[in-house]
A and B are shown apart, each in its own frame.
Chain A
Amino acid sequence: QVQLQESGPGLVKASETLSVTCTVSGGSFSSYYWSWIRQPPGKGLEWIGYMHNSGTTFYNPSLKSRVTISVDTSKNQFSLKVSSVTAADTAVYYCAKVNGGLQTDYWGQGTLVTVSS
């Protein structure tokens, strides 16, 4: 049973860089896509991007210029960075596993990141 756990700062100042890390346990870290999804308070899900453990990355075009996803296979972790944040980046950030059928089958519990001015 794969488990994912996000860890993040909780509060980030506007114009700075948001960083969130996801630790994966209970399964192989290889041969899947590792994804980030966010959900602003009271709103819907927004796909941010994903990375294959081989290093291939794909991003939501609307966020591509500010987002970086990286993976550290030695620690079974992958990370998200969002630069130049504004209040619109305030959201619950979920990490998730995407399998070969391109469904997001395992999700972390989510971590709320609030951007303050």
Chain B
Amino acid sequence: QSALTQPASVSGSPGQSITVSCTGTRSDIGTYNYVSWYQQHPGKAPKLMIYEVSNRPSAVPDRFSGSKSGNTASLTISGLQAEDEADYYCSSYTTSSTLVFGGGTKVTVL
């Protein structure tokens, strides 16, 4: 299975909105709504931010949102804050009953 495709980096100023894309295939994102997004700060374990395309765990701020169109999922951070600077990974369930991650996107707050 091939890793999902994410941009290497995305940046924005505080208060702005940014979007991170995650492109897969009909064997993963295109078939299932089991797309998740994870935030990882340096030296820390990843943290679940979005699940099943657009759902947020209760502790995650509502400035984080997710969506999907065809084989591409997206994570949007509205009202960007300094603490949002981190690496972000998408993940999807696949038709082989496995999971696959994206290569990761470094989000920089300018």
Point out residues on A near B: beta carbons under 8 Å: 35, 37, 44-47, 49-50, 58-62, 94, 98, 101-105, 107-110
Contact = CB atoms under 8 A, between A and B. Distances in A.
Contacts of A103: 34, 36, 48, 51-52, 91
B96 A47 contact: no
Instruction: Give the size range of B's interface with the partner.
Output: 20 to 34
The 6 closest A-B pairs by CB, nearest first: A103-B51, A44-B104, A107-B45, A102-B34, A103-B36, A45-B101
B101 A44 contact: yes
Contact of B46 (A45, A59, A101): A45
A39 B89 CA distance: 12
Contacts of B36: 102-104
Contacts of B46: 45, 94, 104, 107
B91 A101 contact: no
Nearest to A33: B99
A59 B101 CA distance: 13
B64 interface: no
Nearest to B103: A44
B99 to A, nearest CB: 5
Contacts of A108: 45
B69 interface: no
Contact of A60 (B45, B52, B91, B98): B98
B109 interface: no
A15 B51 CA distance: 38
15 contacts: A35-B99, A37-B101, A44-B102, A44-B103, A45-B46, A45-B91, A47-B98, A101-B34, A101-B51, A103-B34, A103-B48, A103-B91, A104-B36, A105-B48, A107-B45
B99 A98 contact: yes
Nearest to A4: B45
Given A44-B89, A102-B99, A103-B36, A61 B45 contact: no
A59 B91 contact: no
Most chain B Cβ neighbours within 10 Å, of A45, A50, A103: A103
A61 B48 contact: no
The residue among A62, A101, A102, A109 with the most chain B CB atoms within 10 A of its own CB is A102
